[in-house]
Amino acid sequence: MKMNDSWKPVIKSLGIEHLRRHQILPIQSVLNGYDTMVMAATGSGKSNMFCIPALLHRTKLTLVIEPTLSLLYSQVHELQVCGVAADYIDHYRTKKETEAILHKVRKAKLTFLYVTPERLQSEKFQQAIRQTGLYMLVVDECHCVTEWGYSFRESYLQIGTFIDCLPERPVIFACSATILEDREKEIAKLLHMRQPQLFQSDLKRKNLILLKKDVTSEKRSLDGRLADRFQALERCIRKYHGTGSVLIYALTTGCVDAIYNALSERYPGQVSRFHAKMKSDKLRHRMELDFLQGKTKIMVATSAFGMGIDVPNVELIIHFNVPISMTDYIQQIGRAGRNGQKAHCVLFFDQNGDDEKIAIVFQKKAKTDSPMAGKLLKANAQEMRRFAGSEDCMVREILRFQGQQEVKNCKCCTNCAKKRRGE
């Protein structure tokens, strides 16, 4: 399908040289007034698929719901640099600043407004949106609707109710790189989408080398086993780290702090950390910026970091622990190799049961809030452990998990390499 000529001025204003084929159909779907769901690989230009229709209707507001503040800030900054009337509301905004932005909304002086889902619960916010009307409501990283909505961010489950309260129904656009095949209908239902058009592009990332490393230790104490895992971590960094950036994910804040302290001694001034329990929001934000701007080369973080970040030269991702879900794993390895260069993703797993014990703690905590949340986390953890222990092609397994069938083996992941060597 060819691009409509009327789109060209908008495309030029965004600094886009050309649209890729997989972007055109979703754009046309939105312009035709259809609710639209897009599943496409990281770095495939999903934001352009809703930005272009929004700018073609710039006299009306497009409301964008983002899961994280870092993603919210970066998206708004990119639009403002292009001269687009875009702004955001977060919990750091003063009452006066928030009211000024809502005044712009009422006066139709904004094309884009970015918020987190919690903002939709504000009565003042609801009133402002009802007064202006919406052209489109966008749910970015929409896998969070089910992944997070049933556990620690129930506000995701209220988006559909917010839509129903609007005087005029907007077009709904939802996108992610990790919508699971069996979750598409559930997400659409929770967002109150009407017969959404689904578009799925090729999810394969050919420049990612997927590796698994068994870090099972014979040490009897947990401290001893962790020491062995730290040694494996340092060996990985020495082997695969060149001139690019490194992302290290750990399940707990304690692990993040311990890794950060250890690596800071070996790589002074080159290590940042990020987790929700850091004492100072200002310190966390500074470390995040240092990494994003290339001032530090190594980031140690929990899953709270990374969604939506765009660091083109991430050449190595190490999962110090088995992630809590396949969705987390896929999202996180998707941060690597955004510049098109080869990147390594190393998954640590153990047969001592240490990571499994951490997962059980998360499940019990979730269960106290919601039986469904506990059940979901348990199923996710089981799927992830099965993947970690599988001997099948890792790329095929990931694509199968996302509903994309792949016949050929990748020939370069850990499991394929072992088979090639006859191990």
Summarised one tens digit per residue, pLDDT across range 252-298 is 999 999 999 999 999 999 999 998 788 777 888 888 888 988 899 99
Mean pLDDT of all residues belonging to the chain:
90
* Residue 146 one-letter amino acid: T
Q: What is the pLDDT of residue 349?
A: 95
Please give the Cα distance from 168 to 48 (Å, whole number). Answer: 24
Please give the Cα distance from 186 to 191 (Å, whole number). Answer: 9
Mean pLDDT over 168-182 rounds to 86
Degrees to nearest 5, angle at CA 183 with 182 and 189: 125
Q: What is the pLDDT of residue 181?
A: 63
CA 310 → CA 105, 113, 147, 208, 289, distances in Å? Answer: 29, 21, 22, 16, 12
Nearest Cα to Cα of residue 264 among 239, 291, 298: 298
Q: How confident is the model at residue 186 (pLDDT cuts 50, 70, 90)?
A: very high
Q: What is the pLDDT of residue 1?
A: 53
The single-letter DSSP state of residue 250 is -
Could you tell me the sign of the dihedral formed by the alpha carbons of 56, 57, 59, 62, in that order?
Answer: negative
Identify whether the C-beta of residue 7 lies closer than 8 Å to the C-beta of residue 23.
Answer: no
Please give the Cα distance from 233 to 195 (Å, whole number). Answer: 47
Asked whether the domain spanning 208-389 has the same topology as the one spanning 5-200, the reply is yes
Q: pLDDT digit string (tens) for 112-144?
A: 999 999 999 999 999 999 998 899 999 999 999
Q: pLDDT digit string (tens) for 44-60?
A: 788 999 999 999 999 99
- Each domain of the chain, given as residue ranges in start order, spans 5-200, 208-389
Residue scoring higher pLDDT (147 or 319)? 319
CA 189 → CA 158, 192, 277, 314, 369, distances in Å? Answer: 12, 5, 34, 36, 23
* Residue 133 one-letter amino acid: G
Q: What is the pLDDT of residue 312?
A: 78
Tokens of 132: 């202006």
Q: pLDDT digit string (tens) for 372-408?
A: 778 888 888 999 999 999 999 999 999 888 777 776 8
Q: How confident is the model at residue 149 (pLDDT cuts 50, 70, 90)?
A: confident
The architecture of the domain spanning 5-200 is: 3-Layer(aba) Sandwich (3.40)
Q: How confident is the model at residue 180 (pLDDT cuts 50, 70, 90)?
A: low
Q: What is the pLDDT of residue 411?
A: 81
Q: What is the pLDDT of residue 327?
A: 86
Class of 208-389 in CATH? alpha beta
Q: What is the pLDDT of residue 303?
A: 85
Q: pLDDT digit string (tens) for 199-240?
A: 987 677 888 999 999 999 999 999 999 999 999 999 999 999
